Amino acid sequence: MTYHAFICSRSAELTPTKKNLLRYLDNAGVKTKLIVGAESIFSGYEKAFRAAQPESEDIIILCHDDLEILTPWDQAKEKIEEYLNKKETGFLGVAGTTELATDAVWWNKDCWEGGLLRGKVRHGLTLEDSYETAFGPSGSPYGEVVVMDGLFLVTKASTLRAIELKKPYYFTGGWDFYDIYYTSKAFRKKYKNYVIELDVLHNSKGELSGRKSWHENKEAFIKRNDLPLKIKWNI
């Protein structure tokens, strides 16, 4: 079993954050492809995946380039494999929701205030100036979800082949809503997605508003998907 990481980047510049991420993955023995100049995040991931020719059981990391992983690799690897060894697991991530509402915004106010979100993410340019956003009921920020944020996603190669990485024809924007599309598609195919405990620093202030192309892709997604999307809990 081999680990691969595909990272789409708008710039070839190696920022301190990007260097730290690449160093972390290199030290972990992860085969990493930094994708610069892709037409879209969909095509970037799709071409990198095709070029890597991973075995079905290989593990694939899809993540942003403005991310630092703070959890030591041996602990992160143990957690990832604990979940991916379950036959029904689809994607793992660091933030998501147990219900995707009719507006298709995973972090919307009602879901946030209703305790439906899961995960913990640090935001900031450095660890020293960062702050932590925690979701979910007190003491229970992790667990099964419907969809996840694309900041950090992990899955098996077999799952990516099952859902396909190519951009759907109805998306006009090339860089938006891919995470909701991928993880919701896995959920609809009866995979189980999980937010797991990993300490990450997102090199941003955590803005939650999208650009025009994000809104366009969101509306296209809403028109072609039956929402809300909820987990059917076994009680």
What are the structural domains of the chain? 3-230 (3.90.550.10)
Which pLDDT value is given to residue 128? 87
The conformation of residue 57, written as its DSSP 8-state character, comes to T
Residues of the chain with pLDDT under 50: 235
pLDDT of residue 127: 86
Q: Specify the pLDDT at position 205.
A: 62
pLDDT, residue 136, reads 81
Listed residue (16, 6, 18) closest to 44, CA to CA: 6
**pTM of the predicted structure, to 2 decimals:** 0.95
Mean pLDDT for all residues in the chain: 94
Q: Output the pLDDT for position 150.
A: 96
Strand partners, 59: 3, 156
pLDDT at 235: 45
Q: Could you count the other beta carbons within 10 Å of the beta carbon of residue 96?
A: 31
